[in-house]
Structure 1
């Protein structure tokens, strides 16, 4: 089919209908504001009683829709129109249905006319989009206002955490070419255990048992992987294996780890500078301070800078069993990144810092997101120190992606000590060996 034929064969109506609907929603919103009065609507927006506010605004929408100006609107569509107006006035506009869906794990606004979400590991476009730049900015302002943050030309990038734990990144011009862009990573909190990861196929039962024993045996563990590989989720599940008798201090850029049921957890969160440029508290400052808080374990949500050297020193000075994550594509890359980040905090030779890595870490666990969106724990390696002081990675567990199968390459040294540590009986260890053999 030629270009002219395609133009003739594809009428403009489907493309025009979203614009017509958006215009209808906007007209309904204006008419409702006129009917109730702007001060009354503003009061509903500020009200803490969201249920009552939605009820009053919904009743006003129904009253307006009953008027002569809306006789041509089909009855079947009126409920959806009311919901869209409520979302615009009281909620987050086109984002609200996605935020109300617990299955949505990520929301991505790519300027006007483009809105995607992630669900079950796959990306999907939405039918509802933002019609103009101002609509997006109003939503961003609504998100940031309670947090005391701002987004403008002098500060065109913002990272923030909602009360729900969701992480928000927003970028506007001049940095965003076709923006504004908004990315919201949802914090569902649904995965809090290794058993749940087994149910989701992220690892077999015997590997979950091995990782549980590793935490209880106070192995220092770094979880590495790319963006979206499930690092924080795995870290959260591992953290739940820490015995209740131990004092845990968590340090995060945005607090996401959940410790429901653990009696002794201290949660610390980094803080960005205020509008005046003051009050910043970095991850490194929190790691340093945590050492003065009598921790049994330190859990750093992610090391990404100079705090790496403080984390390594903590692991090397009696805080065995500490946990962290970092971005890396391979185990060797993870070691190199730790060395590079540590050099930002302390100007020492790379060889000496790699020796610190080799003596601080016991295990490196790699995660990966597969093309279909599924997440897998792909390798577990022991971190040892060779004769030259370099970090040597010894494969313990590997993953066969084509067959979706795991193999125990070598039994970790700590497994043989579990009975003496009173973590597992000899018979339990033997049954585990049989299950993964």
Structure 2
């Protein structure tokens, strides 16, 4: 029996916290010894947790009957989290409003909440404890992280994106970066309420999706590209066959007829890798109505453009870029990285023929995320891709809380693809594109 009583000083003193951790490890070890895996295998998740909880409660009462109610409940929950979940991470994953979790070794955990980064009191015992949690995360999606492959992309059951890097590359211990995607993705109404765009902009995006325009979502890290992609996909007709291609599956499409594909890293022998380029080529043989690439990162960009040009209208993808013009340059660079030597003019012509609309998402100072440009790709003039802005967000300043604010504008430009929208049965108000400031 552990004689220390952590309840007397809560989390305040180091000695008390050490006693608590010692007791927790002891109970967790005895729980593992008591588990009858052959019998538990027949139980469902909730039933199994209830059964194990009874065992943990009995062990708590046996090992330290002096625990007060709050400490006893905390101990039980943490042992259950160690057994079924992701240990100390579970506390942060259950907390509403956390956008990112950044773990810089076992003792330095930071979160982003309400647009601000702050340190969390949550810690791990040591590097081994953090590695156990990390192994549990990556093994659930058939991946691994070890000295031979010290970097890894994975995902949590709710779709949240996980990137991990471990020693010897990470000098201060295993490091995890988790981009949260809740089990209930943000809806169109949520984004309108947050002021990410205006109803007028939504009308255009809905019409463009229904008319099967090819759309490129551009933006920096954390700007909301994946959320925008999910929102745009809600406009896709339910009878369309959609194929998604991602490095780590995180899109949460609402359609019934969705086939999700995920890349695969090489095995321990350096073989068996399946790249996004391989999946795009295979997807073209699977009778897709639309192809959605979670993010273009490399040579698959050319395959995506060719797919858009060869009968797979209405396809969507995202790219890391700060402006619509930068997005063109980024695509050119990525295609060149694949060793494909195309004349610059031919490559730009391919882009101009394939992409109809660029949606630029940016994360402004203080955290607000806005659609700052909706830009039409008009065509080519000489060696240059011609684009025109339809809607813009203009930043007016920074408020007293350090957050950027501004307003949306319609530039007065009427898109050249309006005939395609009308042929698809999309009717937009005649004054939608008149030059003015938009409210939201």
TM more than 0.5: yes
Match of 2:306 among 296, 300, 313: 313
Q: Does 1:421 align with 2:424?
A: yes
Helix, strand or coil at the partner of 2:184: coil
1:408–1:38 distance in 2 versus 1, CA, 3 Å? same
* TM-superposed deviation, 1:192: 5.6
Q: Does 1:378 align with 2:372?
A: yes
Q: Does 1:217 align with 2:211?
A: yes
Match of 2:277 among 284, 287, 309: 284
Q: Tell me which residue corresponds to 2:175.
A: 181
Q: Does 1:19 align with 2:14?
A: yes
Helix, strand or coil at the partner of 1:358: helix
Instruction: Please report the TM-score for the alignment, with normalisation by the length of structure 1.
Output: 0.86
| Residue correspondence of structure 1 range 113-192 to structure 2 within 5 A | 113-191=107-185
Helix, strand or coil at the partner of 1:105: strand
Q: Indicate conservation of the 8 Å contact 1:31/1:64, yes or no.
A: no
* TM-superposed deviation, 1:219: 1.8
Q: Mean Cα displacement is larger for which, 199-208 or 25-34? A: 25-34
Distance in structure 2 (CA, Å) of the matches to 1:294 and 1:58: 49
Q: Does 1:328 align with 2:321?
A: yes
Distance in structure 2 (CA, Å) of the matches to 1:407 and 1:236: 24
Helix, strand or coil at the partner of 1:251: strand
Q: Does 1:354 align with 2:348?
A: yes
Q: Tell me which residue corresponds to 1:7.
A: none
Q: Mean Cα displacement is larger for which, 233-242 or 163-172? A: 163-172
Match of 1:338 among 324, 331, 347: 331
1:190–1:121 distance in 2 versus 1, CA, 3 Å? farther
**Alpha-carbon RMSD:** 2.8
Q: Indicate conservation of the 8 Å contact 2:162/2:178, yes or no.
A: yes
Helix, strand or coil at the partner of 1:383: strand
Distance in structure 2 (CA, Å) of the matches to 1:37 and 1:336: 55
Q: Mean Cα displacement is larger for which, 266-275 or 322-331? A: 266-275
Distance in structure 1 (CA, Å) of the matches to 2:425 and 2:32: 70
Helix, strand or coil at the partner of 1:214: helix
* TM-superposed deviation, 1:43: 7.7
Q: Indicate conservation of the 8 Å contact 2:28/2:79, yes or no.
A: no
Instruction: Please report the TM-score for the alignment, with normalisation by the length of structure 2.
Output: 0.86
Q: Tell me which residue corresponds to 1:10.
A: none
| Residue correspondence of structure 1 range 226-245 to structure 2 within 5 A | 226-245=220-239
Q: Indicate conservation of the 8 Å contact 2:159/2:251, yes or no.
A: no
Distance in structure 1 (CA, Å) of the matches to 2:47 and 2:368: 41
Q: Tell me which residue corresponds to 2:401.
A: none
Q: Indicate conservation of the 8 Å contact 1:102/1:188, yes or no.
A: no
Distance in structure 2 (CA, Å) of the matches to 1:436 and 1:195: 23
1:431–1:385 distance in 2 versus 1, CA, 3 Å? closer
Q: Tell me which residue corresponds to 1:5.
A: none
Q: Does 1:303 align with 2:296?
A: yes
Q: Kindly provide the CA deviation profile for residues 243-287 of structure 1, in whole angstroms up to 9, marking residues without a partner as x.
A: 234332222222222232x34333222122233433221111111
Distance in structure 1 (CA, Å) of the matches to 2:251 and 2:86: 25
Q: Identify the structure with the greater helix proportion.
A: 1
Distance in structure 1 (CA, Å) of the matches to 2:110 and 2:42: 30
Match of 2:286 among 280, 293, 300: 293
Distance in structure 2 (CA, Å) of the matches to 1:111 and 1:23: 19
Q: Name the count of aligned residue pairs.
A: 419
Helix, strand or coil at the partner of 1:184: strand
1:42–1:96 distance in 2 versus 1, CA, 3 Å? farther
Q: Indicate conservation of the 8 Å contact 2:376/2:415, yes or no.
A: yes
Distance in structure 1 (CA, Å) of the matches to 2:225 and 2:208: 17
Q: Structure 1: where are the runs of 5+ without partners?
A: 1-13
Helix, strand or coil at the partner of 1:380: strand
* TM-superposed deviation, 1:416: 5.5
Q: Indicate conservation of the 8 Å contact 1:379/1:399, yes or no.
A: yes
Q: Structure 2: where are the runs of 5+ without partners?
A: 1-8, 397-404
Q: Kindly provide the CA deviation profile for residues 194-228 of structure 1, in whole angstroms up to 9, marking residues without a partner as x.
A: 33321221101111111111112222111101000
Q: Kindly provide the CA deviation profile for residues 305-329 of structure 1, in whole angstroms up to 9, marking residues without a partner as x.
A: 0001111111222322221100011
| Residue correspondence of structure 1 range 48-59 to structure 2 within 5 A | 49-59=44-54
